[in-house]
Amino acid sequence: MCGIYGELILSGGERDLGCQGEKSTDVLAHRGPDDRGTMMGGKVFFGMRRLSIIDLKGGAQPKWNESKSCCAICNGEVYNFRELRAELEAKGHLFGTKGDTEVVLRAYEEWDTAAIRRFNGMFGLAVWDARKDRLLLARDRVGEKPLYYFRDAGRLIFSSEIKAILADPSVPRRINPRGVVNFLAAGHAVAPETIYQSIYKLLPGHLLCVQNGEIRISQYWDVGDDPYLLPLDARNEKNLAEKILALLDDSVRLRMSADVSVGAFLSGGVDSSAIVALMQKHTADPVKTFSLGFGIGGAYNELSDARRVAIALGTEHHELNVEHCDLVETLRKLVYHYDEPFGDPASFPLYLLSRFAQQHVKVVLSGDGGDELFGGYRRYSADRLARLYQLLPTKLTEGAIPALADRLPRLRRLKRALKTLPIKDPAHRYAAWLTLFTPEMQAELLMPDLLACVANYDAAWPYSKYYFALKGDEVDHLNRLMYVDLKTLLADAYMEKTDKATMACGLEARLPLLDHRLVELAFQIPGRYKIRGATTKSIFKKAVSGLLPPEVLRKPKHGFSVPLDVWFRGDLKRFAFDVLLDGSTRRRGYFNTCVIERLWREHAEGRHVWDAQLWLLLNFELWHRIYLDDEEI
């Protein structure tokens, strides 16, 4: 795991890239505290900060070939590098190191850009080929590792994090109005756009190639491209469950390869518990597991569930019970590390848990991805009710029932469902399940000048694009919803959350459930095997049932629960008021502060629950102060 940075001169002649490149590279020191390396060759600069995981002594980057005509840097891991190395050695390639970056370089030399499809891993990588005057950037299939780029008339800059790009004072810091709308609607940026004009995020499964000054972006992988799996006549529930378990076991095995200690995040849910159970099969020593809970208890503390699993599996278990923490200081640090406004409050406990785990290990395995592949969200089940709900009279579904629900101060999920189920277009209905600030709320919140800039913009466009894009043998409504999540929520929010929270602490997170072979398999499984009645992830639970205690399989979906509601009525109440309604915030001209004040008062007085919306607004303002106003963290 590393942080990479680079710059390529497109026009205007060669200039000294070294001084600024060195500074920008070191902005990524938290991602790679163990080592640093740079390369400067005419019109190109590569920099990297290294977190040493494999080949601790010999794995330094950038990595050159013998003729100094080709150079590679890589953030992440290529898990099948040993198999690829053996294949390349058989073709006559010689290796001087034991790591994966040299394999990336040799694979590119042998197979050109087709090499990327041979990699099983998480990565954001760059290859400079002086012979072809070509810069190649590539991001892994699912988007576990980020890769950003800035381009103007004379150059292209890329990095693992936006802050390294912004370290160059000549890069403008201008707000992208559509980025604001995306953030308010989804709680995160929507790739390829970011909150900044002229800074973009390379989409998962894509290549960016610059050759002779021309930039081309292409997709090298999508679901359905790799027919590894069972033939149609063998895709019964039993065979599919067995295949899930076999692939997950191999994925865990690959991700345990490291020259440092490997542990796991353990919530007590089915995904993380299954991964830990398989880890125990591949090591003689107890797996180090890590769990977090908030001291207020209830739904915010699952330590007892994780502890029961740890005892049953025989792990070396470590618990972090958060009784007190400096909310404001931690929030400021998180805003800094995410570079953009980021609205998933689960980043908060994940950061605290990562900081805790890093005291014991350098690598953790985590259960991200299982819900998006195998149907773990309750909204998947709820959405299936839409057809029945729409049979009721419109006066009830779009009038009386939602109006009655609005009079209740809480029951937010029920109110959302009652407003969402009447929507007939399946893509826009699914967008409504996930939207935080609805178009109507944004029309109230945004000031006229900003609203005019986005007058014809529909923030729900990714849902329509991906809902109808899925191809394959088992294209049903549920799989379409999961594909939308794979391309949007998982890549833009959850992968971003995991990468930034763990790397802020110098910790590498590996995600066995997102092995691309499992992703391929998941979308060849009919939705009826994933959700049965009210039971979510049915086939996955069947696949791992022999690994886990029965109570784990019965445990409902939970995830990191964050006491936002409690915080905004308590420890964050005054801070949120002071930040969101002070003079500098009011003068920005983005938002109607009367609307913000109304949301704050209604929440503080218990009349409505606006914690998610207040969290977004608070994150946005703190981001603005740090990145646009240059306020100290």
Longest dimension (CA), the chain: 75
Of 105, 6, 26, whose CA–CA distance to 63 is shortest? Answer: 105
pLDDT of residue 15: 67
Per-residue pLDDT band for 109 (boundaries 50, 70, 90) equals: very high
pLDDT of residue 491: 97
Percent of the chain with pLDDT over 70: 96
Which regions of 186-261 does DSSP assign to beta strands (E)? Answer: 199-201, 206-211, 214-219
> Is the model's pLDDT at 298 over the cut of 80?
no
> Is the model's pLDDT at 572 over the cut of 70?
yes
> Is the model's pLDDT at 559 over the cut of 90?
no
Distance CA 230, CA 247 (A): 12
- Beta strands 363-365 and 262-265, pairing class: parallel
pLDDT of residue 556: 72
Which helix (H) or strand (E) segment holds residue 464: the answer is helix 461-467
Q: Which CATH number describes the domain made up of 2-219? A: 3.60.20.10
Locate the domains of the chain by residue range.
2-219, 232-375+493-554, 563-633
Integer CA distances (angstroms), 257 to 53, 55, 183, 191, 473, in order: 9, 11, 37, 31, 34
Most confident of 14-18, 227-231, 240-244: 240-244
Q: In DSSP terms, which residues pair with 46 in a beta bridge? A: 6, 39
**289 close to 263: Cβ distance less than 8 angstroms:** yes
The per-residue pLDDT for range 445-483, each reduced to its tens digit, is 999 999 999 999 999 999 999 999 987 666 899 999 999
Given the candidates 1.20.1260.10, 3.40.50.620, 3.90.850.10, 3.60.15.10, the CATH classification of the domain at 232-375+493-554 is: 3.40.50.620
The per-residue pLDDT for range 387-443, each reduced to its tens digit, is 888 888 887 777 777 777 676 666 777 777 878 888 889 999 999 999 999 999 999
324: Cα separation from own chain's centroid = 27
Find the mean pLDDT for residues 233-261.
Answer: 94
> Is the model's pLDDT at 588 over the cut of 70?
yes
Find the mean pLDDT for residues 110-130.
Answer: 97
For all residues of the chain together, what is the average pLDDT? 92
> Is the model's pLDDT at 201 over the cut of 80?
yes
Find the mean pLDDT for residues 137-165.
Answer: 97
> Is the model's pLDDT at 143 over the cut of 80?
yes
Percent of the chain with pLDDT over 90: 78
Which helix (H) or strand (E) segment holds residue 623: the answer is helix 611-623
Backbone angles phi and psi of 93, in degrees to 5: -75, 140
